[in-house]
Amino acid sequence: MDLAIETTDLIKRYGSIVAVNHLNLKVESNTIHGFLGPNGAGKTTTIKILVGLLKPDGGRVTVLGEEVQGDNPDVRLKIGYMPELPRFPKHLKGYELLDIYGKMYGISTQERKIRIQRVLEIVGLKGRERDFIGEYSKGMQQRLGIAQALLSEPELIILDEPSLGLDPAGMVEVRGVIKEIAKEGVTVFLSSHLLYEVEQVCSHVSIIHRGACLASGRLEEIIAKISGPVMLEVELAEESEDVFEVLKNLPFISKIQRENKTLIIKLETTDDVRPQISQAITKAGGIIVYMNMKRRGLEEAFMRLIMKS
Amino acid sequence: MVYTSRISEKVSKKPKFSDRFLAVVKYELLWNIRKKKFLGVLIAAFAFSTLSLLLPVILSHAFGAPFEANPNFVIGRGGISSGFTLFLFALVSVMNSISGEFESGTIIPLVTKPVSRSIIFFGKVFASLLTISAAYSLLYAYMAIGGTVIYGPQNNLHLMPLCILGDLLSTFVWVSIVLALGSLSKNTILTAISAIIVFLAISISAPIVSVFSEGAWILNYVPGNGASGYVKGANQGMLPGTSVTTGTDSITSNLVRYILSPSEKVTYFKVEVGAGIKELYSEPLSTVLSRSMLVALAYITISTFTAWYAFKNAQVLE
């Protein structure tokens, strides 16, 4: 397993408060990894350690195979980072800022021109690049934050609450951008408190609370593990013993509960197996009147996990 | 929508030092030249320069005295600026260079770029050097042209580059002190207030210590005007010569004086109430000049190192 980010027993204290408490985190390369936790869980502190803004009090941090220790510009060369509510110098114009940042990455003048136009188009700031950043709204600064994170075409993009301050249309656009860049083999590490956003874009998640990791892995697996198995409710036209017997023998069904003509089926898989079940029922002579898959969401899993801890 | 062009170069090789350094310099330069405070001080400096050019003309007209050409008007003054002007240029140039970035949060995107904090710090210092050099060059050029037009052809204009260097050295004593205060406090108002307090405390106490005590030598080792003395020449007030100061703010005037009269000596004195002036001791102007330059360099080195160390190790909490 190729890891983009790995923390081992990471510790960060602010005086007597332990913000990050022996955090062990593994982020696979080429995934969109959601980083979740309630307010004050230690998400932003962890991210700040990853990008070198804070020094850990203990543990080890590796980003793209390189250990993060002190001021290490070589690691940052491969990272695009958008902080939570980014702020940029008001005296610069949008284009000037991106041009200066591009130069810091060693991108040639010609290439900078092309890339700046491309990222401005992606984040919807084209036409406003010659305005001073001081004249930008919060949403526009947020878009500029995403643009500067994409500019160097990094291997790893760390986004801290990318949708904060954006209007609903902007949020949808950002999700689209995240999915698009991930398709091209970029690892996206995304911190967000919008669980539906994480559910829509992330393939993997890590949930932290009080600085420690409570769960980490593939999104569906985490949901299934925390919220229990997926349930399928099937209503038949008539009660049928044959249907019950056939379904009982399907490998992905662990339990069937009968309530007159309704069957409550407990699945052992998180995959969508409705077609197989429908086919089996029809083969056994049953007629399906109604079928509903009760898939539990990330929100429920998250709440269960936090309440439990 | 295509995120990467793929035909474009990937950022895989380490950027050149010069690229990163110049990017920081451009970042800071654009800030410096757009700072209202800096532009305000520059305009004020031009206004004072204009006043100093025109005041003798106005006074001679007002009192009906004949107006005479003065070939030493520009260089004979020993620099364009008073200690206060040098301090002001330093203050407005760098008071928020470091602390302002922390306060506004702009430090976060800046220090997470592939540029070391040392490059960021020294890029900022270099940008302030360029900005102040440009401002001083403009002021000297203005004075040279104005002086020639009003007071006739000027002597020793070839010393102008040296005067600019001298003023820069004096200014950078304050620049480095302000930078250190900014890096340590990460608060612009606190930086400005503490720098002004330091400047005023030294400026007010220095003449008192210098004139009324025998411990004036200590002023040779603090920034500012330094101790007061005189060199032999035309009487100036109660002094049997021309008044000079020996501190880091007086490097340019002493440099010009030394080049024009290398053998001059500075005599220190004490004013005793009822007894008049008591001569304390004398030392060559070359000693005064070299000591003030070494003291300036020491302050610049120590304060810059303090500022750099604090910035390099600062954690970005907010």
For residues A199 and B77, the model is more confident at A199
Instruction: Tell me yes or no: is domain A228-296 CATH 3.30.420.40.
Output: no
> Does the beta carbon of B18 lie under 8 angstroms from any beta carbon of chain A?
no
Task: State the Cα–Cα distance between residues B139 and B133, nearest whole angstrom.
Answer: 10
What confidence tens digit (pLDDT) does each residue in B101-124 have? 999 999 999 999 999 999 999 999
Whether the pLDDT of residue A230 is over 70: the answer is yes
A37 touches B at CB < 8 Å: no
Band (pLDDT 50/70/90 cuts) for residue B252 is: very high
Question: A97 with A144: CB under 8 angstroms?
Answer: yes
**A 65-94 residues inside an 8 A Cβ radius of B:** 71, 73-74, 76-79, 81, 83, 85-92
* pLDDT value at residue B123: 97
pLDDT value at B2 more than 60: no
Q: What pLDDT does residue A139 have?
A: 87
How many angstroms away from the CA of B316 is the closest CA of chain A?
5
User: Which of B10, B108, B312 lies at the smallest CB-CB distance from A53?
Assistant: B108
Cβ–Cβ below 8 Å for B23 and A74:
no
> With contacts defined as CB-CB under 8 Å, which chain B residues touch A73?
20, 113-116
Residues of each domain in chain A carrying CATH 3.30.70.100: 228-296
Per-residue pLDDT at B275 exceeds 80:
no
The whole-angstrom separation of Cα A97 and Cα A116 is 10
Tell me the longest C-alpha to C-alpha distance in chain B: 89
For residue B5, name the pLDDT band (cuts at 50, 70, 90): low
d(C-alpha A204, C-alpha B21), whole Å: 38
A228 pLDDT exceeds 80?
Answer: no
Residue of chain A minimizing CA distance to B15: A106
State the pLDDT at residue B226: 87
Q: Which of A79, A77, A75, A73 is nearest to A65 (CA)?
A: A75
8 Å CB contact of A103 and B109: no
* CATH architecture designation of domain A3-224: 3-Layer(aba) Sandwich (3.40)
Would an 8 Å CB–CB cutoff place A148 in contact with chain B?
A: yes
Task: Specify the higher pLDDT residue, B212 or A84.
Answer: A84
Structure confidence at residue B7 (pLDDT)? 39
What was the pLDDT predicted at B8?
45
Tell which wins on pLDDT, B273 or A206: A206
Chain A residues lying within 8 Å of B4, measured CB to CB: 153, 181, 184
Domain ranges of chain B: 17-312
Q: Which has more pLDDT, A83 or B238? A: A83
Q: For B41-47, which contacts have Cβ atoms below 8 Å and span 24 or more sequence positions?
A: B41/B88, B41/B89, B41/B92, B42/B135, B42/B138, B44/B88, B45/B80, B45/B81, B45/B85, B45/B89, B45/B135, B45/B139, B46/B139, B46/B142
Question: Which positions 104-133 of B are in contact with A (Cβ < 8 Å)?
Answer: 104-106, 108-109, 111-118
B41 pLDDT higher than 70? yes
Residues of B in contact with A45 (CB under 8 A): none
Distance in Å, alpha carbon of A283 to nearest chain B alpha carbon: 46
Copy the structure tokens of residue A137: 């709204």
Per-residue pLDDT of A92-135, as tens digits, reads: 999 999 999 999 999 999 999 999 999 999 898 999 999 999 99
Are A181 and B117 a contacting pair at CB < 8 A? no
What pLDDT is attached to residue B314?
93
Contact (CB<8Å) A91/B5: no
Residues of B in contact with A104 (CB under 8 A): 15, 19-20, 23-24, 113-115
Task: Please give the mean pLDDT across all residues of chain A.
Answer: 90
Compare CB distances from A73 to B4, B104, B114 and report the shortest one's residue.
Answer: B114
Higher-confidence position of A196 and A9:
A9
- Give the residue from chain A lying closest to B23, CA to CA: A100
Average confidence score pLDDT of chain B: 89
DSSP-based three-state secondary structure for A106: coil
Can you spell out the DSSP letters for B79-129? SS--HHHHHHHHHHHHTTTTHHHHHHSTHHHHHTSSS-HHHHHHHHHHHHH
Mean pLDDT value of segment B186-203: 95
pLDDT for residue B235: 64
Whole-angstrom distance, CA of residue B1 vs CA of residue A183:
12
Contact B112 A55 (CB under 8 A): no
> A108 contacts in B (CB within 8 Å)?
9
Whether chain B has a CB inside 8 Å of the CB on A138: the answer is: no
| A96–B contact, CB cutoff 8 A | yes
A294 touches chain B (CB under 8 A): no
The mean pLDDT value for B65-78 works out to 82
Please determine, for residue B93, whether its predicted confidence score (pLDDT) is greater than 80.
yes
Q: What average pLDDT does this structure show over B231-247?
A: 76
> Least CA distance to A110: which residue of chain B?
B8
Contact B190, B182 (CB under 8 A): no
Asked whether the predicted pLDDT for residue B96 surpasses 50, the reply is: yes
Residue A1's identity, in one-letter code, is M
pLDDT recorded at residue A79: 94
pLDDT at B79: 66
- Please name the residue of chain B whose CA is at the shortest distance from the CA of residue A106: B15
d(CA A49, CA A28): 18
Q: Residue B6: what pLDDT?
A: 45
- Which is nearest to B171 in space by CA: B221, B127, B128, B122? B128
Contacts of A76 in chain B (CB under 8 A): 112-114
Q: Answer whether residue A169 shows pLDDT above 70.
A: yes
In residues, how long is chain B?
318
Chain A CB within 8 Å of residue B5 CB: yes
